[in-house]
Chain A
Amino acid sequence: MAGSLYARGSELSTAAVTSAPELEIAAVSKRYGSVMALESCSLSMNRGEILALLGPSGCGKSTLLNIIAGFETSDTGSIRLRGRSLNDVVPHRRDVAMVFQNYALFPHMTVAENIAYGLYPRRLDATTIRARIDEMLALLKLSGLESRYPAQLSGGQRQRVALARALAIQPQMLLLDEAFSALDRNLREEMQLELSLLLHRLQVSTILVTHDQREAFALADRIAVMETGRISQIGAPREIYEQPASDHVLQFLGTTNSLDGIAEAAGTTMALRIAGGLAFACPPQAIPLRAGERAVVYIRTEDVGIALHPTAVHTSEPGNVSLVTFLGAQERIVVSLGAQQVVIERPTRSTSQQIAIGAAAFLDFDPAKCRIAAPAVSP
């Protein structure tokens, strides 16, 4: 059923058009007073692609989304959608549909009226509108709810209506603004899975804005990590997770330990000592250090192992297990090394292999997985 509606779009996407980018954002900047909300952001998207703008609040991701929707204007730069410049196009002629964080459903209209809202201005005949409503109801599993008002729906159903209303106009692009944040966790993950399947099937180009990396990973083909108005890195989820381009990207994705270390000469090379018995030779990608200099070592929690005997990097003076937390499939162990805490996440072991609080433990990791950076200047 959905195939019929979106057939035109998917045929085009497999044809010659694929080479031209669907959306092209070039050097878009936006300033609010003295604050640079966006600083020369550029990205391009292919048809049917799902792109996540991921970053902490205030990083500019929502501003960029609002500029694409036309609710805000950029100071400089250009936005082209299917080759058409959007810079001077009013919001209601842009043909990009947005799902708002609070859904912004029209409270005085039924589910069916909400879905039909964007169809009347498109001057479709009554039969087409009726068919489109039915199609959206079926597509988003809302059948039977068409004469309910938003106040009579659950959170998950409201989100479905918001999606149905946006998809009903067959937009050139779909924008999701923190669209899952109002749902509780189980429902959120269920909806993310369903939406991911749906969007890939319909081949709708989508930009989603989120601060939740799990959401970005669950839905996106590519992720643009943003920080203070800039795009720090853009790439496939695995790529940015495994090869973060900056300390910010590394810290933002996954859970990462940041440990203080001091450089010391070890023969011809440099070693970093984190605590008494924990030291390792600097990996080749480390920043140049001189003996006695401080550095920050970033390492993901899942890249640190724990042992009861000395390891290659942790030869003496074991740490102390200060916390063991059961997280279901994972367990989290916190090891204290002097004044520093190292967090370790690993698949939950059987009861007999569990490590006890207070046990002496040695850490184990591959120095190549560490990222060494100059210590942050404390303000």
Chain B
Amino acid sequence: MRLGRYAPWLWLFPAGALLIPFFLIPLCVVVRDSFYREDPVRFLIPDFTFANYARVLGDRYYLTVFGNTLLIALVISVIALIIAVPFAQYVARSTGKQRALLLWIIYLPLYVSVIMRAFGWMVITADSGLINSTLMSLRLIGQPIKLLFEVEGMTLAMLHRYLPLMIIPIVTTLQKLDRDLLKASANLGGSRWYGWRRIVLPMAIPGMVGGTQLVFAGVLSDYVLPSLTGTTRFPMVAPVIFYEAATNGAWATASAMGTLVLVVVALFLIISSLAVRRLMPWQRAVQ
């Protein structure tokens, strides 16, 4: 049958039908708009200019916005890594009901709408919220610590949102770890710590890098949590882009910023993937 020759490609049709019109084309439009000329009345005038990029990269405010966002993405990635590695290791070792429960705890936040979670965090981090009232009733603090609508509260809420994306890839890599390797380590005289450092940690690198890529890219483009739990004194890039486009009508500036975020994410993915190749020469040996 003639169709047979094309059959493998047919499997891609549903994904393509969704992604090409609703994702790839809008993305191309954004990139295109970033080179258009900005106009107060007509918003966008077809052109090919780097003026928007020059404006964004030459402005202290925009650079601060990018710096803030990169800093938060970095901090959250590091904290998430520190929490996720031991947690994932525990999950990978557990079995049966305990494992199912732990995995469910990881997935649960993903089931709940991000808006719901944002309001949850508002309740917890408010001046009269759970954290402050607990600390005050324990007489550890005299007056509430400002968390909500501050960088601290936003970081906490974003950490909660993106932690599962760090844990899941690490659990997946650690599950594949052959238990006999740790037996062999002990058998050869390696303590638990030695075995962890020389076997578990290096073998977890793909999961750690994969998780960091997801968390980093996620934080960089998060709009909801900076808007609902953050502060305009510490602007983050996604709300600023929205503000430029929707409120200021500066579509070309917003497009240039969006494209820059895209470039930063792409660079991060490329560099971290190269780092994996570098850190794990044995992966190349397999091919």
Contact = CB atoms under 8 A, between A and B. Distances in A.
Interface in B41-62: none
B203 A97 contact: no
Nearest to A102: B180
Contact of B187 (A91, A102, A109, A120): A91
B63 interface: no
A118 interface: yes
Nearest to A91: B186
Contact of B199 (A70, A71, A96, A106): A106
A106 B183 CA distance: 11
Interface string B185-199: 111111100100011
A169 B188 contact: yes
A118 B188 contact: yes
Given A121-B191, A152-B285, A100 B183 contact: yes
Interface in B252-287: 280-282, 285-286
Interface string B168-202: 00000000001011011111111100100011001
Given A108-B280, A151-B282, A152-B285, A92 B187 contact: yes
Contacts of A93: 189
Nearest to A92: B186
Given A104-B178, A104-B183, A117-B198, A92 B203 contact: no
A144 to B, nearest CB: 16
Contacts of B185: 92, 117
Given A104-B178, A118-B189, A121-B194, A109 B184 contact: no
A95 interface: yes
Contacts of A91: 183, 186-187
Nearest to A148: B285
Interface in B16-50: none
Query: Taking each of B180, B183, B186, B189, which has the highest tally of chain A beta carbons within 10 Å of its own beta carbon?
Result: B189
A108 B184 contact: no
A93 B191 CA distance: 9
A158 to B, nearest CB: 13
| Highest count of chain A CB atoms <10 Å: which of B183, B184, B188 | B188
A300 interface: no
B187 A97 contact: yes
Contact of B189 (A92, A108, A148): A92
Nearest to B192: A92
A169 B186 CA distance: 12
Nearest to A152: B285
Interface string A150-162: 0110000000000
A109 B282 contact: yes
A100 B187 CA distance: 10
Given A108-B203, A151-B282, A121 B190 contact: yes
A65 to B, nearest CB: 11
Contacts of A90: 186
Given A104-B181, A108-B202, A151 B187 contact: no
B81 to A, nearest CB: 19
Given A108-B202, A118-B189, A122-B189, A100 B282 contact: no
Given A108-B202, A121-B194, A149-B282, A100 B186 contact: no
A275 interface: no
A91 B188 CA distance: 9
Given A108-B202, A108-B282, A152-B285, A117 B190 contact: yes
Contacts of B190: 92, 117-118, 121
A152 B284 CA distance: 10
B86 to A, nearest CB: 20
Contacts of B199: 106, 108
A231 to B, nearest CB: 24
Given A109-B282, A169-B188, A104 B203 contact: no
A165 interface: yes
Contact of B285 (A117, A120, A122, A151): A151
B140 to A, nearest CB: 41
Contact of A121 (B189, B203, B282, B285): B189
Contacts of A292: none
Nearest to A113: B198
Interface in A78-92: 90-92
Contacts of A207: none
Interface of B: 178, 180-181, 183-191, 194, 198-199, 202-203, 280-282, 285-286
Given A120-B194, A151-B282, A151-B285, 17 more contacts: A92-B189, A94-B187, A100-B180, A100-B183, A100-B184, A102-B180, A104-B184, A106-B199, A107-B282, A117-B185, A118-B188, A118-B190, A121-B194, A149-B281, A149-B286, A166-B188, A169-B188
Question: What 10 A-B pairs come out closest when comparing CB atoms?
Answer: A118-B188, A149-B285, A104-B180, A104-B184, A91-B186, A121-B189, A92-B186, A149-B282, A108-B282, A151-B286
12 contacts: A97-B188, A98-B183, A98-B187, A104-B180, A104-B184, A106-B198, A108-B199, A117-B188, A118-B188, A118-B189, A120-B194, A151-B282
